[in-house]
A and B are shown apart, each in its own frame.
Chain A
């Protein structure tokens, strides 16, 4: 074998062209009820293109659609990922970081972790995983009170108040706290209502939370533990699903499944139906698979991991399950490939221009798995009679600057007591407030 080893003398010049073209595909064709789904394409080099973080300079703000105005409601937060508005108007900013317990199991995880560390900033090493209360009693858009409402949480995301019970969805459990109107900090010890699937992998860790209209149930989004079962199907037990939890006993059942990473759980105001935005799978091409928003039907299966948009089978999953693929239903409304919707709220207030009434705002965190950026904005989807009734339009943009560097990235959205739209920006460490005006 000596000669063979010696033969490794010459470094072959590997002219490997990176698969980096997003061709001329029009992302607009993937917005709406019937998105165009191109051929699957598996990569030699999966595109990883994450906007490097520059942050917001003084007096810089995102851009808004005509008839709207935007101001910073709170700055200097630590990775705010969602907002929740209490009945008295106090705003809870949930500052949260991933548990960081996902082990690097493959060489790919090391490489991807390293690339990601180059471009995700936001928060540095400051303490996060807490909820900050912001009180703007006079409604001028500048909070007079800023206090730590709850601290030392476990990667929290969803919050829901029912009566005097305040529920916080940590990544591994729903916790219940007693809440009295007007409190600016909760010191009481929490009770655990229900344990949720958490570490050690905890790939999709954000647990979105909403109460049913009658307040008897809680709905929780539990994301998958992998992109596409590469951590084994055993790791996906009870994941990629929306859970329904009985609020009094903590008993739970799977309400709907096959939802890879459901977030922004919200009740549609006309039909009182549960809706969610869902992050679909990566590495099937720059234009697959479109993320979506959908009504979440009791007992329904939405495809993941075996298929997407109905019966489009994913070849990466083995063993396959034709029986489940057959049952899979297509979601209601595609938002575009890799836009990463992480927040949604229906607009039932009246302060913003007429056209926004009844529709949904969606926070799109932005793509990393395609060359040309997609998302990095807040869009609005008009609704009529409880169903999407038109094309999504941009409402808040400019999170990327002209050099495609990230000044911020939108995540959770909410509506405050004055009817303004609130946006958690986890890279800009800001909560933005959008009002009518110019």
Chain B
């Protein structure tokens, strides 16, 4: 049997965590495994996350320069991120409803809460960024952008730790 590559191995681990929790077959049981497919919401959410990080950077640039163009960029990035995040949620919800019960992936509570928090922050941040001039960014726009990215980072770190732990379990 051929060993899977590194990136692929992460996907398999991912899949196996869900499989175990939901009492489904893991890759150890059925090999070669089903290919991991990206869902639409994953791609949209990746775009939203990029916009959130970009929005924090342009917020910082405006805070430092008071140059109005940076505030305009921020308004576009933050608003786009909020719209994309909401669309991702809708896509996920639809996917969840139409999927066959045994293939449903229900995120665990910490990720669910983190996701909800990020969307709430992004929506509020969009409203703050709809103000005119300085106070569209400083202090609350910048604060919310930083908080959004902070929650994203924490979640990502948490995930990495979890994967590594699972990695050790699967391949001692």
**A interface residues with partner B (beta carbon < 8 Å):** 1-12, 14, 16, 42-46, 105-108, 111, 226-232, 283, 315-319
Contact = CB atoms under 8 A, between A and B. Distances in A.
B107 A3 contact: yes
B61 interface: no
25 contacts: A5-B39, A5-B42, A5-B115, A7-B107, A8-B45, A8-B92, A8-B115, A8-B116, A9-B112, A10-B116, A14-B120, A14-B123, A42-B131, A44-B128, A105-B72, A106-B72, A106-B75, A107-B75, A229-B133, A230-B71, A230-B132, A231-B68, A232-B67, A316-B136, A318-B66
A5 B119 CA distance: 11
Contacts of A42: 131, 135
B48 to A, nearest CB: 8
A318 B93 contact: no
Contact of B46 (A5, A10, A12, A43): A5
Given A7-B114, A318-B66, A44 B132 contact: no
Contacts of A226: 132
Interface string B93-122: 100100000000111100111111011100
Interface in B20-40: 39
Given A9-B92, A43-B131, A107-B76, A229 B159 contact: no
Given A9-B89, A12-B120, A318-B66, A1 B159 contact: yes
B132 A283 contact: yes
A108 B130 contact: yes
Interface of B: 14, 39, 41-42, 45-46, 49, 66-69, 71-72, 75-76, 79-80, 85-86, 88-90, 92-93, 96, 105-108, 111-116, 118-120, 123-124, 126-128, 130-136, 138, 152, 155-156, 159
B109 to A, nearest CB: 9
Contacts of B71: 230
B131 A106 contact: no
Contacts of A107: 75-76, 79-80, 126, 130
A180 B85 CA distance: 66
Nearest to A316: B133
Nearest to A14: B123
User: Does more than half of chain B's interface fall in helix, strand or loop, or is it mixed?
Assistant: helix
A10 B120 contact: no
Given A8-B41, A9-B112, A230-B71, 8 more contacts: A8-B119, A9-B107, A10-B112, A227-B132, A229-B68, A230-B132, A316-B131, A318-B134
B154 to A, nearest CB: 10
Given A4-B114, A45-B127, A10 B93 contact: yes
**Which residue among B90, B92, B124, B156 has the maximum number of chain A CB atoms within 10 Å of its CB?**
B92
Contacts of A108: 75, 130
Chain A to chain B: the 4 pairs with minimum beta-carbon distance, closest first? A7-B115, A7-B111, A5-B45, A318-B134
Given A2-B14, A6-B107, A319-B66, A11 B86 contact: yes
Nearest to A227: B132
Contacts of A319: 66
Contacts of B132: 226-230, 283, 316
B59 to A, nearest CB: 14
Contacts of B112: 7, 9-10
A230 B68 contact: yes
Nearest to A319: B66
A1 B158 CA distance: 10
Contacts of A111: 130
Contacts of A16: 123, 127
A8 B80 CA distance: 16
Nearest to B62: A318
Contacts of A229: 68, 132-133
Nearest to A281: B132
Contacts of A228: 132-133
A45 B129 CA distance: 11
Contacts of A316: 131-136
A10 B106 CA distance: 10
B135 A44 contact: no
Contacts of B49: 1
A9 B76 CA distance: 24
B89 to A, nearest CB: 5
Contacts of B14: 2-3
